[in-house]
Amino acid sequence: MRDARYTFANLFYRSDLKIGLRLTACFLTIFVLMIAGDAVSIWQLRQLEAHTKLLKTADKASSAIVRLHLDVNSFGGRVAVLTRGHDAHQFANEAVLLRETFLRHLRDAEQILNSSPEIAQDAFTSGTLKTLKTTLPSQIDSEIELANAGDWPAIQLRLTGQIQDLIDLSSSLVEGVEERVFQQRARVDEETEQVRHRLFIVVPAAWLLTLLVAAALGWYVTRTITVPLSELTIGAEALARGDFRHEVNIGGNDELAVLGKTFNHAARQLDRQFEMTLEARVGERTRIARELHDTLLQSFHGLLLGFQTVFQLLPERAMDAKEKLGSAIEQAARAITESRDAVQGLRDSVIEGNDLAPAISILGEELATHSNNSRPTLRVAVEGKSRDLHPILRDEVYKISAEALRNAFRHAQAGRVEVEIRYDTEQFRLRVRDDGKGIDPVILSAQGSKGHFGLSGMRERATIMGARLTVWSEVGAGTEVELCIPACTAYATTTERSWLLQKPAGKA
């Protein structure tokens, strides 16, 4: 089931792009698609605008040609009226105005037709315009000359002949242009309908495509984030259950992949620490068993043999029995001392928070009380601002100091024992010094005497804590034990200090 889930989500487990780059790429893709959709819409709208412009131009061309036809009709009608009045001066003035108006309207029509190539390129239209442009003004000039000469009958003949031909010619021009405009309008209407049809299809399709791509990219980017986060959540749950061997499967080089690699590294570190803790517990139990075997069991076995010897000597050899009994009593006293040391080594510490120095002082007083040797002077000094130790390391520090003190009080034959506790910003340091007889270099290099595990036990505890333990000693020059722990490991955090304040008193 797990392999199937990995196979299904493998696409989302690996990404070589950073999350920010993926989001930026998706945003740019969606932005480009939106611009493309807008460009298609604008292109279609511009085609509609071009078709509308063609229709407007054609309408203007038709209106201009109609206006020219009206000018020709107006000239014919006005000539007929002026001819009946026989006023040459008035005839000449109005004829000149009609000619100027016609020529102005003709220029406007030519300019409009030039913007409509399909109409302007028609041979009939262009030829008719040229004919009107040359014929009508010449007719007007001829009419003015005849009017000045008083030849009104000739003007009347021209009116019914040549001028009527110009009117018919302009009428034919109007019909031809109207036909061309009608054809162009039909074609433009058809193309406009096609553009509108495409517009109604292309624009929704473009926006739908943009929406689908945006949804697909959003889903993909979301999955590339949520799937690794789900994997990290599963890993965190496994870690909470104590499954330190669980590894998250997140490939690639993005932030979540780096987080997954860091998570796997931390899980492996916790697994190694857990294994080391188990090994330390097993080693501690082995040390306790050996210590009990070397001390209590052997001592009680010797006592049993001594009592048997006394039993055999009584009553015939009372003096020998008394001597053996005295030796057995001394051996029993030593067994009691060894038992007290063993129990004291196994007992949980009772220190709370910053009570390490008082706890060490109390331990020294207790060791001095039960010491068979001369009672050494104990001095405990604290340097730096006292800080809460990590609750897990606190007891280990106490046990190491207790082992060093027991060695100083029981075996070193020291006159003075000094304990220095230093709270530095970079590290925590504990130093135990005595001026006793020292330790044989052979024993020191062998990590302790045969059958005893004090030095090796201190080194094992220091290794588990990630601390540095240094033991210096010379015969006749005393012994110094120094324990150094980095500040980030030794000192309790805010959460751990809160735990220290809330936990029941008397429990380590």
How many Cα atoms within 13 Å fall on the side-chain side of residue 292? 8
> Which residue range forms the structural domain that includes residue 507?
351-508
**Sorting pLDDT into bands at 50, 70 and 90, what band is 5?**
very low
Q: 71-75, 207-211, 319-323: which has the highest mean pLDDT?
A: 207-211
Which of 173, 169, 170, 184 is CA-nearest to residue 59? 184
Number of domains in the chain: 2
Answer yes or no: is 252 within a domain: no
Q: pLDDT category, 322, cuts 50, 70, 90? A: low
The larger pLDDT score, comparing residue 304 to residue 34, is at 34
Structure tokens given for 57 = 């131009």
Look at residue 270 in the predicted model and tell me its pLDDT: 75
Answer with the residue of higher pLDDT: 159 or 455: 455
Q: Indicate whether 335 belongs to any domain.
A: no
Asked if the model's pLDDT at residue 1 lies above 60, the reply is no
Lowest mean pLDDT among 190-194, 357-361, 504-508: 504-508
Q: Are residues 88 and 218 in the same domain?
A: yes
CATH number of the CATH domain containing 356: 3.30.565.10
Stretch 313-322: mean pLDDT: 68
What percentage of the chain reaches a pLDDT higher than 90?
Answer: 6
pLDDT attached to residue 380: 92
Cα 264–chain centre separation: 19
pLDDT tens per residue, range 225-266: 888 888 888 888 887 776 777 888 877 777 878 888 888 888
| Domain shared by 213 and 356, yes or no | no
Q: Is the pTM of this model over 0.75?
A: no
Instruction: Say if residue 42 is in the same domain as residue 181.
Output: yes
Q: How confident is the model at residue 6 (pLDDT cuts 50, 70, 90)?
A: very low
User: How far apart (Å, rounded) are the C-alpha atoms in residues 236 and 232?
Assistant: 6
Q: What local confidence, expressed as pLDDT, does residue 431 receive?
A: 94
Query: What confidence category does residue 482 fall into, taking pLDDT thresholds of 50, 70 and 90?
Result: very high
Domain limit, last residue, from 231, 250, 272: 231
| Lookup: tokens for 198 | 């495409």
239 domain-assigned: no
Q: Identify which of 172-176, 228-232, 368-372, 431-435 has the greatest average pLDDT.
A: 431-435
Output phi, psi for 424, to 5 deg: -95, 165
User: Which two three-digit tokens encode residue 144?
Assistant: 């003015």
Domain match, 359 and 217 both: no
Question: Which of 26-30, 193-197, 361-365, 376-380 is predicted with the least confidence, judged by mean pLDDT?
Answer: 193-197
pLDDT confidence of 500, banded at 50, 70, 90? very low
pLDDT at 362 exceeding the cut of 90 = no
Mean pLDDT estimate for the chain: 75
Predicted pLDDT at 373: 59
If one compares 379 and 156, the residue with the highest pLDDT of the two is 379
- Note the pLDDT of residue 21: 82
pLDDT band for position 505 (cuts 50, 70, 90): very low
- For residues 227 and 370, state if they share a domain: no
> Which of 211, 231, 251 lies at the terminal end of a domain, its last residue?
231
Q: Are 358 and 225 found together in one domain?
A: no
All residues at 6 or more sequence positions from 242 whose CB lies less than 8 Å from its CB, including other chains:
none
Task: Tell me if 280 is assigned to some domain.
Answer: no
Residue where one domain finishes, among candidates 208, 231, 254: 231
Look at residue 8 in the predicted model and tell me its pLDDT: 44
Is pLDDT above 70 for 453? no
Residue 141: pLDDT band with limits 50, 70, 90: confident
What is the pLDDT, as a whole number, of residue 465? 79
Query: Is 337 a domain residue?
Result: no
Question: Does position 408 have pLDDT exceeding 80, yes or no?
Answer: yes
Residue 30 lies in a domain: yes
Q: Does the structure show a pLDDT above 80 at 490?
A: yes
Q: What is the end-to-end Cα distance of the chain in Å, rounded?
A: 44
Instruction: Give per-residue pLDDT as tens, 335-350.
Output: 666 666 655 555 444 4
| Distances 152 to 19, 85, 144, 149, 333 between C-alpha atoms, Å | 98, 10, 10, 8, 170
- Run of H or E residues at 423: strand 416-423
Comparison of pLDDT for 272 and 97, the residue scoring more: 97
Same domain, 372 and 503: yes
Give the rounded percent of residues in the chain with a pLDDT score beyond 70. Answer: 73
- Partners of 427 in the beta sheet? 486
